Structure 1
Amino acid sequence: MQITSIAAIYFLFWVMSAFMMLPFGVRTADEAGEATVPGQAESAPVNFRPGKLALRATVIAAVFTALFVTNYNYGWVTIADIDILPKPPGTLAN
């Protein structure tokens, strides 16, 4: 596998993990007991920390990328292993 493919897969895992972690650990002004600014949405976060989010996404993406590349090299799980659709009539089943 080429390094550019690994980098692209890492980027995809990073974006996916960052978006999935966005709602965790975030509190609204109501939950934090702080006053809201006029015009602020009630659901706006008070303690958003993008650095912490990026660090967590980096670690998770590195782990998932390592697992993906290792699976690609050793073939632990292949398409044939997860193919659950029935075979069409008239074809040979393996």
Structure 2
Amino acid sequence: MDPIAGIAIYFVLWWVVLFAVLPWGIRSQHETGEAVPGSEAGAPVRPALWKKALATTLIAGVAWVFVAWIYVYQPISFDDVPFMPDLSNEY
């Protein structure tokens, strides 16, 4: 795998995983009863962003290893996917 492609794939995976991890463990000010005057009641009390960034990095790393393994060893080729267009007869 080209290093630039590997970095790009990791970057995309990291952002997708981040948006999946962000809601984990969030409690709003309204739920906890700790509303700060002048703030939105739905704002999180303790978002723990560093922990979520670390979890995102680890999960994205595992996902990237899986994607790289599929790319390098090709246990599933594009020919095995039934809805992929036939690209063998290029112009």
Shorter-chain TM-score tier: 0.7 to 0.9
Q: Which runs of 4+ in 1 moved over 3 A?
A: none
Partner of 2:24: 24
Q: Identity across aligned pairs (percent)?
A: 36
List alignment gaps of at least 5 residues for structure 1: 86-94
Structure with higher Rg: it is 1
Shift of 1:61: 0.6
**How far apart are the structure 1 equivalents of 2:66 and 2:29?**
39
Partner of 1:66: 65
Partner of 1:91: none
**How far apart are the structure 2 equivalents of 1:77 and 1:26?**
38
Partner of 2:89: none
CA RMSD of aligned residues (A): 1.8
Alignment of 1:1-94 (within 5 A): 1-34=1-34, 36-84=35-83
Question: Match of 2:76, SS?
Answer: coil
What TM-score, normalized by structure 1, do the two folds share?
A: 0.79
Shift of 1:80: 2.6
Shift of 1:64: 0.6
Amino acid at match of 1:40: S
